[in-house]
Structure 1
Amino acid sequence: MNTENFIPIATLCTHYHVETSFFDSLNEVGLIEIESIEESHYIHAERISEVEKIIRMRNDLHLNLEGIDVVLNLLQKMDHLQNELVSARNRLRLYEN
Structure 2
Amino acid sequence: MAKVELFPVVQLCELYDLEVTFFEELWEFGLIDLRVYRGERCIHQDALQQVEKIIRIHRDLHVNLEGIDVVLNMLRRQEEMEERILRLNNKLRRYEDPF
Task: Mark yes or no: TM-score above 0.5.
Answer: yes
Offset at 1:22? Answer: 0.5
Offset at 1:43? Answer: 0.2
Write the letter of the residue equivalent to 2:19.
E
CA RMSD of aligned residues (A): 1.2
Identical pairs, percent: 41
What is the correspondence of 1:1-97 to structure 2 with a 5 Å cutoff?
Answer: 4-97=4-97
Aligned equivalents of 1:55, 1:89: Cα separation in 2: 34
C-alpha change, 1:8 and 1:86, in structure 2 (3 Å) is same
Q: What TM-score do the two structures reach when normalised by structure 2?
A: 0.91
Offset at 1:38? Answer: 2.2
Divergent runs of 4+, >3 A: none
> Which structure 2 residue ranges, 5 or more long, are not aligned?
none
Write the letter of the residue equivalent to 2:53.
K
Q: What TM-score do the two structures reach when normalised by structure 1?
A: 0.93
The size of the alignment, in residue pairs, is 95
